[in-house]
Chain A
Amino acid sequence: MSDQFILEVKNLTKDFPGVRALDNVDFKVRKGEIHCLVGENGAGKSTLMNVISGVYPKGSYEGVVRFKGQETNYKSTKDSEHDGLAIIHQELTLSPYLSIYENLFLGHMKTRFGLIDWDACLKDSFPLLRKVGLHERPQTIVSKMSVGKQQLVEIARAISQDAELLIFDEPTASLNDEESQKLLSLIREFKKEGITCIMISHKLDEVLSIADSITILRDGQSIVSFDLAEKKVSEQEIIKGMVGRELKNLFPQKEPDVGDVVFEVKDWNVYHPDYHQMKIVDNASFFVRKGEIVSFCGPMGAGRTEMMMSIFGNSYGYGASGEIYLKGKRVSFKNPKDAIEQGLGYVSEDRKTLGLIMIQDVKTNITNSSLPKLSRRGVLDKDLELRKATEYKEALQIKTPSLEQLVRNLSGGNQQKVVLSRCLLADPDIFIVDEPTRGIDVGAKFEIYSILNDMVKQGKSVIVVSSELAEAISMSDRIYVMNEGKIKGVLDRSEATQERIMHMALID
């Protein structure tokens, strides 16, 4: 019985101060299968993987973890790697200024007489890179490659140690559709070679296309496991298991009610901040109407984020040029402060390093952009501040024990709502949101879509940068398609399909 399962977790309970992250979890993975783990943010998926891989050492949890029939006794990930269990984290753990092959063998360098044998490392890196389908010179510095390629290095590093079980923690979260497809087929390759894979994902279409089994976690408990060989499951069933209720629609209804053009950008050009001759955005022009949601789609590296950030007060790049018209008037934004004061809002795709101040509490994060408005002659009205923060906490349903809670302790979806609150409190007319639903769960996504819909209902305009085509198509009135720094075309809601967008971006 137990040799059929490569990994068995029984009655696992893990407590953090004040929270029970895992509550009596049972979890079994068959040898050689692809097992997907789904659940809302904060459901305990990452915690479970961290227990299995020894990030949390034996003794810090209750319950039994058996790997290859043996009860594990890991003191750190070093022990689990040695045992043939490797985890590829959501956040990349490469050393950015080292080369590919230096990263590959970091921690287990080939040595001769105690000295590193660089030639052996270099030689051994070729088959690994071939295996993961990465066509780069091993000497390439990893920070110069795209996130997708960096992830392949991470995977190559994991398999270099003869892993029998690979754990992927949201591997496609920061990849575009094409890169995601590549990664999924790589995982299928691994399966053929007999490597067992566990994948955590928020993207249900991916899960359904690849999984042999699915386990759903909710609030730290294992809710249900499906064996797809026995019975097909639908997205609806999985979502129901995740949120504990049935979501009728993944996207809220939006009634199109658009007015005149309020925001227009003409001939926008931006160059790379370090390589000044490298054009990142190339003669881009677009406009947004009042009450409209406009999406920008395109593959990773198309220049969407860079364009938005450079428009938002020169927050990116070098030598930005072009014209911006706000309500028909030519304007320019020296810095983000200027842009905010003139009615722009920007929610970054990277909420941890660009959106929030993780060591500050919820209240402070909400009010940071609006302090001058909440003060008189430089002195803050703290009562008003608390009232405003409470108002937004309730309006956006931010789940937090109190406003004094540090934002780092909130789940991804709630953190995103804090960033949205901060921008909304500053009362923008043009609201730019960059990957607003990245890495957050289905329930919170729906709420965020509703917030954006409410904004346009109030006559504001929203610009969404999104890598999820389904999201862009369902949410927006119009879709601009970008690639290689150029705007390749624009589609109306009625004519947009995933295929047309991809076609426009890649072929036209």
Chain B
Amino acid sequence: MSNGAHIEQISFLGLAKQNMRKLSMFIMLGLILIVFAILTNGVNLTPRNITNIFIQNSYILILAVGMLLVIIIGNIDLSVGSVIAFSGAISAMLYNTGMGMIPMLLLSLLIGGIIGCFQAFWIAYMRIPAFIVTLSGMLLFRGLTYIITNVTPVALIDDGFKQIASGSLEIKGFRIAGLDGLSLLVMILAILLLSFMTFRQRNRKIRNGFSVLPFRYSVYKIVSLSALIIFVFSRFAAYRGIPTVSLVLFVVTVLFVFITNNTVIGRYIYAVGGNMKSAKLSGINAEKVMFITHVIMGVLCGLSGVVFTAYMNSALPQAGDKFELDAIASCYIGGAAASGGIGTIIGAITGGLVMGVINNGMSLMNIGADWQYVVKAAILLFAVFYDIWSRKKSGLG
């Protein structure tokens, strides 16, 4: 600590206050889980249901990740629902040729990417507002889906495909005390990795002479995140093990958290969204950054289409209807700013889970889609209101 590192003196309450805005989403998610646990006598926290929440929302969460990037750069993508239907239908057709899972998946991502390139070209280089390009894309790809499917569902030739959504990662016979062994093993590894990373990061900061928080806060962080990991994985372990789709979701999330925080392109996306003119004069090729962002969205649509087809166990021509709205709402509930430049991947995922948990809880209570819409509308409005209000209050507005 001789080289200038110092430990910030801050009380627990002070720190919580400072991070209230960041924490509020998680608190909201926690509260909603608890409210529904009471209303459903704990059914929503059962292993089976927790597993279901992940499976049922995976394709929206994947979309929300891409949508977040698009929203950060200051655009919107209304076409994602139709693109999912299109890529889902193509993926089913490809799978039915018997080419195998991996080539099918790669080709689907490629098709999503090509669709992304097409729309990105008009948005980034022809400077047509994203709202208009993707509105037309929404019509175009719905139409193309109807054309290639003849408006009839594409059935899958075998059960292999649906494993992406409903399958689990497992090692045959590896069980501990009646629970799935792999889930428990991954859980322990995750906690160890988390602790290791937290301390390594802290030590690096100290070595570089940057200020750090007192040691006990690192412990609090590890304890609370570990509790979350234990909760989720113990549910998985008690049901069917780790759902394959949660692995897909995890990889996507980690990849894009890394991209947004630690890569040049990630930072460029924030810069262009924060102030495009200034970003350009700072030497950022704003058109290229915008192009890449929409291509990423396309690739993630391709992935989401595959997951949704697997979830439905067939490719439906009407698939993905209104998914764009769920994905957009997830981002806004998760703290993204409509004017661009602000938002986090974890926020969007949390926002998506908030909506998912509400849908799921209300379904468990046998409340129909009619009231689900009303409640989701209220949550969206409230969450964004809170975000704007708290930002104003803390002088960030």
Contacts and interface: CB of A to CB of B under 8 A. Distances in A.
Interface stretch (A54-62, A382-390, A486-494): A382-390
Contacts of A406: 396
B187 interface: no
Contact of A16 (B267, B275, B277, B395): B395
A261 interface: no
Contacts, number: 89
B308 interface: no
A114 interface: no
B262 interface: yes
Given A16-B395, A360-B341, A346 B204 contact: no
B210 A341 contact: no
Contact of B264 (A315, A358, A364, A371): A371
A409 B395 contact: yes
Contact of B262 (A312, A315, A335, A380): A380
Nearest to B4: A390
Contacts of A107: none
Contacts of B396: 359, 406
A234 interface: no
Interface stretch (A119-127, A222-230, A349-357): A349-357
A426 interface: yes
Given A18-B395, A383-B204, A426-B283, A357 B264 contact: no
B92 to A, nearest CB: 35
A375 interface: yes
A348 B275 CA distance: 14
Interface string B184-217: 0000000000000000000010001010000000
A372 interface: yes
Nearest to A383: B208
Nearest to B266: A380
A315 B208 contact: no
Nearest to B392: A17
A144 interface: no
Interface in B340-397: 341-342, 393-396
Nearest to B271: A368
A336 B208 contact: no
Contact of B341 (A348, A359, A422): A359
Nearest to A340: B283
A289 B394 CA distance: 48
Among A17, A315, A364, A368, the most chain B Cβ lie within 10 Å of the Cβ of A368
A353 B267 contact: no
Contacts of A16: 395
A382 B266 CA distance: 13
B108 to A, nearest CB: 25
Interface residues of A, dominant DSSP: mixed
Given A357-B274, A357-B341, A336 B281 contact: yes
Nearest to B341: A359
A369 interface: yes
Contacts of B204: 383
Interface string A302-345: 00000000001001000000000000000000011101110000
A422 B283 CA distance: 11
Contacts of B236: none
Interface residues of A, number: 38
Contact of A336 (B265, B271, B275, B280): B280
B284 interface: yes
A378 B263 contact: yes
A363 to B, nearest CB: 11
Contacts of A115: none
B284 A354 contact: no
Given A353-B275, A360-B274, A382 B264 contact: no
Interface in B272-324: 274-275, 277-285
Nearest to B283: A340
Contact of B342 (A353, A356, A359): A359
Contacts of A379: 262-264
Nearest to B391: A359
A218 to B, nearest CB: 23
Nearest to A358: B275
Interface in A58-97: none
- Across the A-B interface, give the 9 residue pairs with the lowest CB-CB distance, nearest first: A340-B283, A357-B274, A337-B283, A357-B275, A369-B282, A371-B264, A368-B282, A369-B283, A359-B341
22 contacts: A16-B395, A17-B394, A312-B281, A336-B280, A340-B283, A348-B281, A353-B275, A353-B278, A354-B277, A355-B278, A357-B274, A357-B341, A358-B274, A360-B271, A368-B267, A368-B271, A369-B283, A379-B264, A380-B262, A380-B263, A380-B267, A383-B210
Given A346-B281, A368-B267, 14 more contacts: A335-B280, A336-B281, A336-B282, A353-B278, A356-B275, A357-B279, A358-B274, A359-B275, A359-B341, A360-B271, A360-B274, A368-B279, A369-B282, A378-B265
Interface of A: 16-18, 312, 315, 335-337, 339-341, 346, 348, 353-360, 364, 368-369, 371-372, 375, 378-380, 382-383, 386-387, 406, 409, 422, 426
